Structures are given as C-alpha cells and as structure tokens.
C-alpha cells in the first residue's frame, strides 16, 4: 500500500506527537502565545524555563478528519490514554475507530514502545515515517492555528479547560466549511468508514502488554 494514498475513512491514520513552538503555559495555567518560535526539541526544551505544551494529533488520511489533545509537558500521559480517547465512541464527536494502518515517527515508537505490542495483539499495521506530510503536518497546523481563537474564551483559557472541552473543539474544527472542500467530518461519515471499536478501556489497555 502507498503510504500517501487511502481509499476509505479509517484505512490510514497519521499520528503526531510534538512540542508546540509558539504556545506555552503560564504559572496560573493560562495558555500563552509567543510570536517568535521557540528553538526547542525533546532534548533541550527545559533550558527555556517555560512550561511548554505537548500535542497529540491523529488524522484520518482519507477525510482529513482529526482528533487532538493538549497537555503540559510535565504531565504527558501514556499514548494509550490518547489513543483510547481518539478511537473510542465519543459523546460529542462522531470520529472513532481503530484504523487498518497507523503512520507515526520513529520518535513515537521509541517513546512508547508498547505500541508495537498493540500492533501484535490487533490487526493494526504500524508504518514509520519521518517526513512531516506522512505524520499529518496539515492537521497539526490546523490544530495550532485555532489555539488563539479557542483560548480567548474564559472557560478555555487554561490548559485544563481546553482539555475538558476537547471533543467540542475537535467537532467544531472538523465541521467547518471553507467553501473549497467539504467539511472533514462530513466526508468521514458519508464515505462509510470502517469502524473497529474497543470502548472498554481495561480491554484496550491490555492490548499494550507483551503477553
């Protein structure tokens, strides 16, 4: 299968895990924008003495529909927490389902090697890619471009409030109509996605173990 082509929703998901270069968290928990990008990576971010923001973003390659979560860099959960939320049936956002293929960077697999166990214990095929396109750079750009808009609301100004309303935010972003292409969620729904669900968190987490 060509990594840059998909034939239906939930065939290929692209996973990004990265530090924001423009946003960080103030001591009171508020999300703060800095116009000049931070020159940081996973090895040197602590030198800025800022509490940086880490994003998980997963994008369906066929429809561009995506789900994302945001955390303080010192409170990043295991990736199984994010993937369960991304792939389970949700109350406020219809995007769900384990894909056939997952594309992620080598850094993701090195950071969360248990992903390989999940692949062995399910039918998920993991492919590594270091190029931004392959790992869903479009979705990460769309995600961060809307930080400023959503964090302007009082109940979304802190990282806790942002994460609490994450399904609403993702639904809003994926139902917007730019006049050029159909909304992401509409394309995902109308093209009959292949939906493989595991809504029991305990069962889902056992799939990350090496039996």
User: Is 191 part of a structural domain of the chain?
Assistant: yes
Domains held by the chain: number: 1
pLDDT value at residue 121: 96
Identify whether 2 is part of a domain. no
Q: Could you report the average pLDDT of every consecutive run of 10 residues in the chain (211 residues)?
A: 75 94 92 92 93 95 94 96 98 96 94 96 88 57 82 88 93 87 93 94 96 70
Task: Answer yes or no: is 119 within a domain.
Answer: yes
Q: Would you call 25 exposed, middle or buried from its count of C-beta atoms within 10 A (0-12, 13-18, 19+)?
A: buried
At residue 134, the pLDDT reads: 54
53 within a domain of the structure (yes/no): yes
Query: What per-residue confidence (pLDDT) applies to 181?
Result: 77
Residue 23 belongs to domain spanning = 12-206
Distances (CA, A) of 121 to 20, 31, 115, 206: 32, 38, 10, 9
Q: Is residue 7 part of a domain?
A: no
Question: What confidence score (pLDDT) does residue 152 get?
Answer: 85
Tell whether 162 is covered by a domain.
yes
Residue 166 · residue 87 · CB < 8 Å: no
Phi, psi of 43 (to 5 degrees): -95, -30
pTM: 0.91
Residue 211 in domain: no
Is 52 part of a structural domain of the chain? yes
pLDDT of residue 146: 83
List the CATH number of the domain containing 137.
3.30.420.10
Give me Rg for the CA atoms of the chain: 17
Q: What is the pLDDT of residue 132?
A: 47
């Amino acid at each position: 299968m060509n990594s840059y082509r998909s034939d239906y929703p939930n065939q290929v998901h692209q996973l990004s895990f990265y530090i924001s270069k423009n946003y960080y968290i103030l001591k009171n928990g508020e999300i703060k924008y800095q116009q000049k990008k931070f020159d940081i990576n996973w090895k040197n971010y602590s030198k800025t003495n800022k509490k940086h923001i880490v994003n998980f973003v997963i994008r369906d390659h066929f429809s561009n529909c995506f789900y994302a979560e945001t955390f303080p860099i010192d409170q990043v959960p295991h990736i199984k927490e994010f993937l369960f939320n991304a792939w389970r049936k949700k109350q406020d956002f219809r995007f769900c389902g384990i894909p056939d293929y997952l594309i992620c960077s080598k850094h993701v697999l090195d950071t969360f090697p248990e992903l390989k166990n999940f692949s062995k214990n399910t039918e998920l095929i993991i492919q590594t890619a270091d190029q931004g396109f392959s790992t869903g750079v479009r979705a990460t750009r769309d995600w961060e471009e809307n930080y400023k808009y959503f964090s302007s609301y009082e109940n979304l100004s802190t990282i806790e409030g942002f994460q609490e309303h994450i399904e609403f935010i993702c639904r809003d972003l994926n139902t917007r109509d730019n006049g050029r292409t159909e909304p992401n969620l509409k394309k995902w729904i109308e093209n009959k996605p292949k939906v493989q669900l595991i809504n029991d968190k305990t069962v889902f987490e056992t799939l990350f173990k090496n039996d």
